[in-house]
Amino acid sequence: MEATARAHPNIAFIKYWGNRDDHLRIPANSSISMNLDGLSTETTVEWADDIAADYLILNGTAQTGPALERVQRHLDMLRRRLNLSAYARVESTNNFPMGAGIASSASSFAALTVAGVAASGRGDIDERELTRLARLGSGSASRSVPGGFVEWHSGDSHETSYAESMAPENHWALVDVIAVISTAHKAVGSTEGHKSASTSVLQTARVADAALRFEQCKRAILDRDFVTFAEVVERDSNLMHAIMMTSRPPLFYWLPGSLEVMESVRSWRSEGLDVCYTMDAGPNVHCICTQERAAEIETRLRQMTYVVDVRTAGVGGAASVVRVSKR
Ligand code: DP6
């Protein structure tokens, strides 16, 4: 059987940084995100008896090396959990360019998981279990399985660490206006970064306070309270970057342009514009605003010297199966 699935990337408002268990990707704290509409990864998986190894074609190019190995490890895990022995042909395309400031591992591992399970014909695997399986490939992928605004409960075991939707995509018309500062490939990826989080003496304090920020952010989203939302989202992003900068070795993702955008966003908010910033493991700044403000924010960002491109995305839905067929 062959199945195709589609999943959106997501942007975290309460960040996942550091694991209690790196192997199972049990995070140090629970996190919150929204899916990004219009951006997606589409992946086809065929479990095939006529091949002697897994194959991966990414955006039209056959992969070898680390990208293939990470997918193979995920397929090994799926084979164990789904009781399969066949190897897989995997073909995946992103409709957004790599290096455009949008992490692709969340949508990639969400789509791979949903397609792999659908192609196995196992109808007994529910959404919650799909989020657990996606988590094993990439932590943030668990949040790309359910739709809209999503919470990932850290839990303390494979069973208790899963994601679910806290509000559907039409709950609040927020937009992520991404200020692209650099498209260079990042030097240190998230997986390596998570492993170094505990070397910062600040990580204990960040994690101790994370449940409170989680509750503040969730309440603000449910109440559509932008003022509270903006404060906690920026504080949480700053805290994660403080950990990165004080880890051993230190990780600096901010560039001068990132600082300039963050500074501008703060001053635009003091003028009365509903906008706040958050940054992931890269130099690009995600400016989160209400839909009415998106065009204005985009225009202002495009005028800034360091901003090389701007992309916008509204709130996206759940990962879905696009097609299932028998070969
Ligand atoms: C900074 O999910 O990419 O984007 O589990 O190793 O694949 P792995 O890491 P990943 O980490 C995401 C880190 C972040 C914050 C977030 O999305 O919560």
At 295-325, the pLDDT tens digits run 999 999 999 999 999 999 999 999 999 999 9
Do 326 and 121 touch, CB atoms closer than 8 A?
Answer: no
CA 11 to ligand 1 center in whole angstroms: 10
pLDDT at residue 74 in the model: 98
- Residue 141's pLDDT band (boundaries 50, 70, 90)? very high
Residue range 107-121: mean pLDDT, rounded: 97
Residue range 115-119: mean pLDDT, rounded: 98
As given in the structure block, the two tokens for residue 112 are 């791979």
For residue 281, give the H/E element and its range.
Answer: none
In a domain, 96, yes or no: yes
Which CATH number covers residue 259?
Answer: 3.30.70.890
pLDDT at residue 326 in the model: 84
CA 16 to ligand 1 center in whole angstroms: 6
Question: Which range marks the domain in which residue 109 is found?
Answer: 2-170
Over pLDDT 70: what percentage of the chain? 99
As given in the structure block, the two tokens for residue 58 are 């990414």
Residue range 96-109: mean pLDDT, rounded: 82
Could you give the C-alpha distances from 117 to 75, 79, 114, 125, 128, in angstroms and in order? Answer: 10, 10, 5, 8, 13
| 136 and 272 fall within a common domain | no
In the Cβ-directed half-sphere of 260, how many Cα atoms lie within 13 Å?
14
| 241 and 126 fall within a common domain | no
Alpha helices in the chain (DSSP H): 66-82, 105-120, 127-137, 190-196, 203-208, 210-223, 226-245, 256-270, 294-302
| 68 and 185 fall within a common domain | no
| 80 and 115 fall within a common domain | yes
- Per-residue pLDDT reduced to its tens digit, 61-96: 999 999 999 999 999 999 999 999 999 999 999 998
| 182 and 74 fall within a common domain | no
Torsion sign (Cα): 141, 145, 150, 155: negative
In a domain, 212, yes or no: yes
- Per-residue pLDDT reduced to its tens digit, 9-34: 999 999 999 999 999 999 999 999 99
Q: What is the mean pLDDT of the chain?
A: 96
**Pocket lined around ligand 1, Cβ cut-off 6 Å:** 12, 15-16, 25, 31, 103, 105, 138-140, 190-191, 194, 280-281
In a domain, 277, yes or no: yes
pLDDT at residue 161 in the model: 98
Q: Which of these three, 170, 193, 228, is where a domain ends?
A: 170
CA 49 to ligand 1 center in whole angstroms: 34
- Residue 327's pLDDT band (boundaries 50, 70, 90)? confident
| 250 and 159 fall within a common domain | no
| 225 and 189 fall within a common domain | yes
Q: Which of 13, 16, 23, 258 has most ligand 1 atoms within 8 Å of its beta carbon, as the pocket-test mutant?
A: 16
Q: Which of these three, 119, 138, 170, is where a domain ends?
A: 170
Do 15 and 236 touch, CB atoms closer than 8 A?
Answer: yes
Per-residue pLDDT at 100 exceeds 80: no
In a domain, 228, yes or no: yes
Q: Which of these three, 141, 170, 199, is where a domain ends?
A: 170
CA 34 to chain centre: 9
Number of domains in the chain: 2
CA 190 to ligand 1 center in whole angstroms: 5
- Interatomic CA distance for residues 93 and 116, integer angstroms: 15
CA 164 to chain centre: 14
Kindly report which listed range (143-147, 178-182, 214-218, 265-269) carries the lowest average pLDDT score: 178-182
- Residue 99's pLDDT band (boundaries 50, 70, 90)? low
Do 265 and 287 touch, CB atoms closer than 8 A?
Answer: yes
